[in-house]
């Protein structure tokens, strides 16, 4: 006689993946994604893929391209997510993720069109997960691009409880004749710097090591840093420069006033401005032209980090640079100020070998 099993069979949820929680997140984020959409976004929420209309003929939103070039990039937030996970701060890293992508994309003169995000985590908690995606949506709103969709992957076998990672993918467009690259840069061009909001999203492996070795308290305030806690300062989202730069490119296109641009990410000013240079020219940057925000000398002091290493790892207060024709620099500065930026001339272009010289 065969006995009938009295226990329920193993389920996906028993193995660590909750399909119902995933469905709940999809429902929660629908209105969030919708906030970032224009009439150029087609299809419905929850489809297998997002659709974006490149040309658009509606009078109020007319966008037609003669020779469009699609520009794409992908990036994440690095080990900043470990600090965010530890402190249970879930929204700001979504802004970081968008920033790290769109700030790279606009360097070529492109306008961001749409964004997709990828979120990997140990356990899908609808409230926490939707907060992360809310941050991504907020970043897309700041950048002026559409959040078309993304992926939330619940993988308890890969991520420890509480851990997560976030990455993104952005697509933009630029007219072929308006692509900005190193061939435009000339001797005597000037370098305009735009302020960063702090550490942004690079160098956090070193930041976390300094915090640990120096016994710093993330929940404490320090006199030299002002009224915010160290954690609040370190988790400040990366600034998004997209709208300011898209506006600048549009207003300066006819006179080819912009020679080059650089997003100051890993490698700092030396490692990133050099990417905008031809091999026979150097960028000479005067460190006395700006004052780095207090978090940088604070980290340098508590970590005993050499100044050259600080400039090699961190943005040191300059998050984005524009190489400009000298006779157009004043006009460009005014345009940037109208966009809410605080531009400053931090250097110039001289003969050399394609390097950045800090003086």
Rank 38-42, 145-149, 251-255, 345-349 by mean pLDDT and report only the highest. 345-349
* pLDDT recorded at residue 61: 57
Q: Which of 243, 232, 208 is nearest to 106 (CA)?
A: 243
d(C-alpha 312, C-alpha 271), whole Å: 7
Pairing verdict, β 51-52 and 41-42:
antiparallel
Would you call 245 exposed, middle or buried from its count of C-beta atoms within 10 A (0-12, 13-18, 19+)?
A: buried
Give yes or no for a contact between 207 and 234, defined as CB atoms under 8 angstroms apart. Answer: yes
Q: Check pLDDT > 90 for residue 36.
A: no
Tokens of 75: 């990036």
Domains and CATH numbers, the chain: 12-178 (3.30.1330.10), 182-358 (3.90.650.10)
Q: Express as a percent the part of the chain with pLDDT over 70.
A: 89
Give yes or no for a contact between 148 and 114, defined as CB atoms under 8 angstroms apart. Answer: yes
Say what the pTM is.
0.89
* 174-230 tens-digit pLDDT: 999 999 999 999 999 999 999 999 999 999 999 999 999 999 999 999 999 999 999
How confident is the model over 50-54, as a mean pLDDT? 80
Give yes or no for a contact between 284 and 350, defined as CB atoms under 8 angstroms apart. Answer: yes
Q: Check pLDDT > 60 for residue 3.
A: no
* pLDDT recorded at residue 40: 78
């Amino acid at each position: 006689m065969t006995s009938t099993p009295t226990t329920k069979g193993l389920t996906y949820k028993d193995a660590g993946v909750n399909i119902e929680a995933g469905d709940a997140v999809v429902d929660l984020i629908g209105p969030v994604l919708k906030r970032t959409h224009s009439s150029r976004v087609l299809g419905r929420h929850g489809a297998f893929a997002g659709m974006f209309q490149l040309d658009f003929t509606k009078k109020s939103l007319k966008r037609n391209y003669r020779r469009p070039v699609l520009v794409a990039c992908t990036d994440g937030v690095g080990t900043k997510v470990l600090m965010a996970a530890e402190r249970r701060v879930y929204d700001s890293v979504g802004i970081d993720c968008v920033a790290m992508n769109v700030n790279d994309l606009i360097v070529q003169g492109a306008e961001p069109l749409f964004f997709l995000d990828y979120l990997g985590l140990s356990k899908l908690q609808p409230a926490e997960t939707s907060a992360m995606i809310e941050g991504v949506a907020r970043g897309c709103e700041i950048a002026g691009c559409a959040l078309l969709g993304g992926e939330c992957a619940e993988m308890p076998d890969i991520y420890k409880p509480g851990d997560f990672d976030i990455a993104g993918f952005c697509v933009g467009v630029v007219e072929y004749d308006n692509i900005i690259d190193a061939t435009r840069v000339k001797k005597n061009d000037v370098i305009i710097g735009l302020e960063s909001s702090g550490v942004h999203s690079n160098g956090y492996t070193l930041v976390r090591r300094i915090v640990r070795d120096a016994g710093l308290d993330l929940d404490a305030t320090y006199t030299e840093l002002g009224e915010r806690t160290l954690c609040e300062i370190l988790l400040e989202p990366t600034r998004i420069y997209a709208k300011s730069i898209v506006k600048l490119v549009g207003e300066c296109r006819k006179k080819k006033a912009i020679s080059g641009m650089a997003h100051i990410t890993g490698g700092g000013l030396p490692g990133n401005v050099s990417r905008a240079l031809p091999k026979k020219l150097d960028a000479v940057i005067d460190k006395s032209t700006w004052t780095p925000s207090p978090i940088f000398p604070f980290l340098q002091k508590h970590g005993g980090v050499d100044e050259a290493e600080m400039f090699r790892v961190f943005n040191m207060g300059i998050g984005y640079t524009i190489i400009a024709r000298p006779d157009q620099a004043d006009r460009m500065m005014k345009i940037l100020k109208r966009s809410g930026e605080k531009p400053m001339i931090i250097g110039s272009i001289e003969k050399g070998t394609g390097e950045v010289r800090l003086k």
